[in-house]
């Protein structure tokens, strides 16, 4: 039987709940913070400069981005109800928001106030998504995420390529091309030839090399760095909100929501991955921690909208650093947050990054967007288990590209919904969502039963399964196995320790998939103990210590081909896969 927690122990010096020495925590925090800081500073600076904003506003936006990243990183390291993952998950400004933020600012009816309004509304969507993440588990799939991430570079790169030649008048002809080329060559070379820890520093090394070349040509603004003070606070430049809610707002809102959804799913993936590397012994995935990670991100994006800077999300570097250093303590996340707050109050540090020449910054974003495209492709391939999901990815990508390039009936769709489909991210993302919804719900025959969460409901479950067996032509042996699985699954859920409202409702869903029959038991009142964790603990302890409460679990594992227990703040979902009993096999006793 396949179990999520079947892999071996991880060699960690400090796991998530252990406290390393203070010097070690802050030393590792500084390393992780530097890896994320370049994106936090460069991304808003590039977007706002390309959109023609003032240096005073850029300084404020960068300051706000660094401060908010520090605060949210500290929240992520803790557990505040459904806010925070409880892991050292660093927060930064991602490239996924470049296209939509730029579009909102440069739109004829837009501006930074429009961007701030859209960020606040999308953050409320993200907070709602975090609180009810279980509702969207069938739609927010790797197929949708991969397709949307692949479309982000398509919408970003035309703006970035123009920045490659953006240098002051009177600059030497080779300055832009040579500095950007050195950045690309050094960054790519470092990434291809380095291994382990040093590979994470490839972007920083490339930007430093390009900036040195830019300084030799005179396009690195050394004077601004020299004039910046060591300690200080920038002038507050909060743009306010655009509450006109005109055509521009409604055309820009869908891509903002889509990218926010992608950021949420990326955070979900990072929160999932960091759980796997932060404990020595394997554990079942804690979906409440994942909800907390997405919720903290939503709170951070609410802060970014209120202050007028670009949204943020989790940095994948957090997972890599834990794997390389063997320190998964959440205290490292607290240290990163404290260091971000300290750096924000040092204007000279921010000025050093803001002075980076635009061709160098554009080359840096080019590599980041290239990796983002590959990451989206990788997610899509991993999530595409059959040709239908591959078809969804392919169609969504090319429809998005066609609308972005205005190659698909522009004379018709430019007027549709105030030009909502002029953005390729919107067109391709909506295509992926619609096709995924159809693929998930339309062709598949799911049968559902709503009953009281009580052992007395077992008779209703058996009658329900008998009807399902008749519709699907399952033999009597298969039906007997399904009935046995349902009985033991119900007993296992009822036997969980912790505070659970027994007078709750139970939803039972049965469906046929390629690899067997799937029974899904959903309880509206979550328990405390995870069934998969109980399985792992049961495997580790001697049989002599087995209690009566483990009998149902032992029988359930014997009958099922796989067991998955997802615990959210609002519900428990126990998914059991069962192989049909053929004529060559025998039904369980």
For residue 321, the model assigns a pLDDT of 67
3-class SS of residue 48: helix
Report whether 321 contacts 87 (CB < 8 A): no
Rounded to an integer, what distance in angstroms lies between the CA atom of residue 506 and that of residue 193?
A: 55
In terms of C-beta distances under 8 Å and separation of at least 24 residues, what long-range contacts does 443-447 make, across chains too? 444/511, 444/513, 445/471, 445/472, 445/511, 445/512, 446/509, 446/510, 446/511, 447/471, 447/509, 447/510, 447/511
Task: For residues 291 and 314, give the distance between their C-alpha atoms in angstroms, rounded to a whole number.
Answer: 13
| pLDDT, tens digit (0-9, with 9 covering 90-100), for 556-575 | 878 888 888 888 888 888 88
- Residue 544 pLDDT: 45
Closest CA relative to residue 264, chosen from 133, 83, 418? 133
Q: What domains does the chain contain, in order, with CATH numbers?
A: 22-157+240-356+389-440 (no CATH), 446-578 (3.30.565.10)
Sign of CA dihedral 536, 540, 541, 546: positive
Contact 120, 241 (CB under 8 A): yes
Extract the residue ranges of the chain whose pLDDT is less than 70: 1-11, 31, 35, 95, 195-200, 316-317, 320-321, 323-325, 372, 375, 382-385, 413-423, 441-444, 496-503, 514-515, 526-527, 536-550, 583-589
Task: Name the token pair of 328.
Answer: 């998964």
Q: Side-chain half-sphere of 109: how many Cα atoms within 13 Å?
A: 11
CA distances from residue 264 to 92, 149, 299 in whole angstroms, order as listed: 13, 12, 12
Determine how many CB atoms are found less than 10 A away from the CB of residue 194: 14
pLDDT in tens, 435-466: 888 877 665 677 889 988 888 889 999 999 99
Query: pLDDT value at position 190?
Result: 80
pLDDT score for 196: 60
**Spatial CB neighbours of 396, under 8 Å, sequence gap ≥ 6:** 147, 148, 151, 428, 429, 431, 432, 435
Q: Which H or E element spans position 506?
A: strand 505-513
Q: Please give the Cα distance from 1 to 557 (Å, whole number).
A: 8
DSSP β-bridge partners for residue 562: 2, 577
Stated as kind and residue range, the H or E segment containing 478 is: helix 476-494
CA 552 vs CA 489, 494, 518, 555, 556: distances in Å: 7, 11, 19, 5, 6
Rounded CA separation 395/285 (Å) = 32
Closest CA relative to residue 149, chosen from 43, 270, 300, 265 = 265
First to last CA, the chain: 18
d(CA 125, CA 141): 18
Q: Is 295 left (phi over 0), alpha (psi -120 to 50) or beta?
A: alpha
| pTM for the structure as a whole | 0.73
Q: Two tokens at 274?
A: 């960091």
Q: Could you tell me the CA-to-CA distances from 306 to 10, 75, 153, 396, 429 in Å, in that order?
A: 41, 18, 27, 33, 27
Select from 108, 492, 33, 89 the least CA-distant residue to 276: 89
DSSP track, 235-292: PP----------HHHHHHHHHHHHHHHHHHHHHHHHHHHHHHHS-SS-----HHHHHH
Residue 3: other Cβ atoms inside 10 A = 16
pLDDT at residue 462, rounded to an integer: 93
């Amino acid at each position: 039987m396949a179990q999520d927690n079947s892999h071996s122990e991880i060699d960690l010096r400090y796991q998530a709940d252990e406290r390393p020495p203070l010097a070690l925590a802050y030393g590792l925090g500084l390393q992780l913070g530097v890896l994320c800081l370049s994106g936090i500073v460069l991304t808003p600076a590039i977007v706002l400069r390309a959109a023609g904003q003032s240096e005073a506003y850029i300084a404020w936006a960068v300051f706000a981005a660094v401060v908010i990243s520090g605060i949210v990183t500290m929240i992520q390291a803790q557990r505040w109800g459904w806010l925070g993952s409880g892991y050292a998950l660093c927060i930064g400004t991602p490239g996924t928001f470049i296209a939509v933020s730029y579009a909102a600012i440069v739109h004829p009816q837009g501006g930074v106030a429009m961007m701030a309004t859209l960020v606040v509304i999308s953050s409320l969507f993200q907070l709602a998504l975090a609180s009810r993440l279980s509702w969207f588990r069938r739609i927010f799939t790797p197929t949708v995420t991969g397709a949307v991430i692949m479309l982000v570079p398509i919408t970003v790169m035309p703006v970035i390529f123009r920045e490659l030649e953006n240098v002051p008048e009177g600059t030497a002809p080779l300055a832009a091309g040579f500095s950007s080329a050195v950045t690309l060559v050094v960054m790519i070379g470092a990434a291809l030839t380095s291994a382990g820890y040093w590979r994470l520093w490839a972007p920083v090394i490339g930007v430093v090399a390009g900036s040195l070349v830019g300084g030799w040509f005179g396009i690195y603004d050394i004077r601004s760095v020299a004039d910046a003070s060591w300690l200080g606070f920038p002038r507050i430049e909060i743009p306010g909100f655009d509450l006109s809610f005109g055509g521009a707002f409604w055309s820009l809102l869908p891509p903002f929501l889509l990218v926010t959804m992608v950021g949420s799913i990326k955070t979900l993936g990072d929160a999932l991955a960091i759980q796997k590397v932060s404990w020595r012994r394997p554990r079942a995935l804690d979906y409440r921690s994942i909800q907390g990670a997405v919720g903290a991100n939503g709170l951070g994006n609410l802060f970014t909208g209120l202050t007028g800077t670009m949204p943020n999300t989790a940095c994948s570097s957090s997972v890599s650093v834990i794997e390389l250093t063997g320190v998964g303590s959440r205290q490292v996340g607290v240290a990163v947050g404290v260091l971000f707050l300290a750096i924000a109050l040092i204007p000279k540090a921010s000025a050093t990054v803001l002075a980076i020449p635009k061709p160098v910054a554009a080359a840096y974003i080019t590599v980041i967007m290239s990796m983002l495209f590959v990451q989206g492709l990788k997610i899509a391939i991993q999530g595409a288990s059959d040709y239908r999901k591959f078809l969804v990815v392919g169609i969504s990508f090319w429809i998005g590209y066609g609308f972005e390039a205005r190659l698909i009936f522009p004379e018709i769709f430019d007027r549709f919904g105030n030009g909502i489909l002029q953005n390729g991210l919107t067109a391709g993302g909506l295509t992926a969502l619609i096709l995924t919804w159809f693929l998930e719900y339309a062709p598949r025959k799911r049968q559902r039963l709503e009953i009281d969460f009580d052992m007395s409901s077992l008779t209703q479950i058996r009658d329900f399964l008998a009807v399902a067996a008749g519709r699907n032509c399952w033999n009597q042996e298969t039906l007997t196995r399904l009935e046995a699985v349902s009985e033991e699954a119900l007993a296992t859920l009822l036997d969980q320790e912790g505070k659970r409202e027994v007078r709750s409702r139970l939803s039972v869903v049965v469906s046929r998939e390629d690899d067997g029959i799937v029974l899904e038991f959903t309880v509206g009142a979550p328990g405390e103990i995870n069934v998969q964790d109980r399985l792992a603990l049961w495997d580790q302890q001697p049989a002599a210590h087995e209690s009566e409460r483990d009998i149902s679990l032992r029988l359930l594992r014997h009958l099922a081909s796989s067991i998955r227990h997802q615990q959210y703040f609002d519900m428990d979902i126990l998914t059991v896969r069962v192989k049909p009993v053929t004529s060559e096999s025998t039904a369980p006793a």
